[in-house]
Amino acid sequence: MKKIIKINLVGLKCPEPIMILRKKIRKLEEGQVICVLTDDFSSTRDIKIFCRFMKHILLSYSNQKKPHQHIIKVGKK
């Protein structure tokens, strides 16, 4: 099993978290898991839409406290 990649995007505001996430995911292999930390509430919505549009799997997310955490499995590219 490959290790979970963690990226800390705390302090960044829209659209920076999605732009950085997209660039990072491009370098990963299908099936790899990435944990994204954000504190921008709109990122929760944006990351869900990004995953659906780009065919990645949002395994879990938590927005009850900061930082918000999103666990994503990289889909087919």
Task: Give me the pLDDT at residue 76, please.
Answer: 79
The verdict on whether 14 is a catalytic residue reads: yes
Collapsing DSSP states into helix, strand and coil, what is residue 63? coil
| CB of 34 closer than 8 Å to CB of 69 | no
Percent of the chain with pLDDT over 70: 97
Q: Which residue has the tokens 């790899």?
A: 32
Compare 53 and 1 and report the one with higher pLDDT: 53
pLDDT tens digits for range 11-45: 999 899 999 999 999 999 999 999 999 999 899 89
Catalytic residue among 14, 20, 54, 58: 14
Q: Which domains does the chain have, with CATH numbers?
A: 5-73 (3.30.110.40)
